[in-house]
Amino acid sequence: MPALSRLSMPLAAVIAACCACATAHAGEPPRYVIDPVHTRVLFEIDHAGFSKAIGTVSGSEGSLHFDADDWSTAKLEVTVPMQRLDMGDSGWSASVFAPRFLDIKRYPQARFVSTRVERHEGNRGTVCGELTLHGTTRPLCMALVLNRIARYPLPPFRRTAGFSARASLKRSDFGMTSWRSLVGDEVELRIEAELFRRNGDDPPPAAVDAPPSTTPDPIPD
């Protein structure tokens, strides 16, 4: 009996640890994964006073833990591939990629990690965190709007969350100080993002939404 007790103690410890892990996992908010096809970062910056230069970045990756009833538990991590930046002209994009600006050979990615998410009235809120850009990490807060959470109407009918966000930053805060007489310092950001609920090992959505072969019955939210 003593030998059996000695064997039972480690087994009990393992079971208790497994139960604790399961409980912690069950308490986490649902996890969503960024849909890179339907997510885009848009930025505006002054061009010598004549216009606002506009660029976009596609292909962002990351995840969001989000409970629509309790935004304070949300956690967001996003990686933005700066080589996917598009100014609408290859020569202009190459200038932005150069060492005097983004220097993408040394800093190919930007990254945002949230530290705090607050809900305000209705579907609006604020997400604050740390933005790493051009090798420099600085705090950044974004105004956030939850557009919709629902099942996507085409196969594979994954539960999808859609957000819009806006923020502003100074490029000089991230070590980009060249050509101040030609290029503005303040950068306006606009982000449109869709994220799908991660269930098992579901693959990300295809690049083009294909219509279903048959019309399915409506799936409630």
The mean per-residue pLDDT over the stretch 126-143 comes to 98
3 assigned to some structural domain: no
22 assigned to some structural domain: no
What is the structure's pLDDT at 20? Answer: 41
213 assigned to some structural domain: no
| Assigned token pair, 192 | 């449109």
187 assigned to some structural domain: yes
- Non-local (6+) Cβ contacts of 155 within 8 A are 212, 216
Residue 132 has pLDDT above 80, yes or no: yes
For 75, list phi and psi in degrees, rounded to 5.
Answer: -140, 130
What distance in Å separates the CA atoms of residue 195 and residue 110, rounded to the nearest whole number? 19
135 assigned to some structural domain: yes
What is the structure's pLDDT at 40? Answer: 98
Q: What is the pLDDT of residues 152-203, one digit of tens each?
A: 999 999 999 999 999 999 999 999 999 998 999 999 999 999 999 976 434 4
Residue among 34, 33, 60, 31 nearest 189 (CA): 60
66 assigned to some structural domain: yes
179 assigned to some structural domain: yes
What is the structure's pLDDT at 198? Answer: 77
Q: What is the pLDDT of residues 78-115, one digit of tens each?
A: 999 999 999 999 999 999 999 999 999 999 999 999 99
Report the sign of the C-alpha dihedral through residues 98, 103, 109, 115, in that order.
negative
CA angle (59 as vertex; 164, 28 as ends), nearest 5: 60
The mean per-residue pLDDT over the stretch 3-24 comes to 42
205 assigned to some structural domain: no
By residue range, what is the domain housing residue 34?
A: 29-197
Number of domains in the chain: 1
Mean pLDDT for the chain overall: 85
Report the run of H or E that residue 114 belongs to, with start and end.
Answer: strand 109-119
What is the structure's pLDDT at 199? Answer: 62
What is the structure's pLDDT at 27? Answer: 74
Residue 69 has pLDDT above 80, yes or no: yes
Please report, for the domain that includes residue 164, its CATH number.
2.40.128.110
pLDDT band at 1 (very low <50, low <70, confident <90, very high): very low
pLDDT > 70: what percent of the chain?
Answer: 78
